[in-house]
Chain A
């Protein structure tokens, strides 16, 4: 069965970067698309961007350009998202989801605090 297993919660300092992972199984990762989403607790969900595992091609929500960088490792069927120059406004739960968004990871809580 399809599974997306995300990395654990992160506590990071302002100005730092963090790399989140989404390890997949149960389907052909190398021909799939993956998107990442941000959800501040109690608020709605924002689409950050997407990546095609076949060639690493990406597309981003304009709001997150320069903030998020998406990559994949097809050898381990894992998708990654780097978040840079973190501020308190980046504190949120981040989800990965395989297109067309029927399968989601469990989410990773990122807390930015000094």
Chain B
């Protein structure tokens, strides 16, 4: 099974900041990583697939990059509506989520 190590577990940011979350896979996942946003009581929302492809409706302040085992997800100019938890998901071999990152306002 592929494990996804996501960090940090939590982030504190001010409005307008840039934040970055990382996920490291236990093996090469060939860019088959997606990033999700989840707000309390809601289903996850797909933001980015295949490392860096933004889903329709995802604001351009969200971005993703990486290759091999190491991937990152960034939000530039954090807005209040971005306060949520974020998860990475590998889908090269079955499906494994990272542990999540909770983004809070400083």
Which residues on A are within 8 Å of B, measured CB to CB?
Answer: 35, 43-47, 59, 61, 95, 97, 100-102, 104-107
Contact = CB atoms under 8 A, between A and B. Distances in A.
Contacts of B96: 47
A47 B95 CA distance: 6
Contact of B46 (A43, A45, A47, A102): A102
B43 A107 contact: yes
A104 B44 contact: yes
A67 to B, nearest CB: 16
Contacts of A101: 34, 44, 46, 89, 91
A105 B45 CA distance: 11
B99 A44 contact: yes
A46 B43 contact: no
B95 A105 contact: no
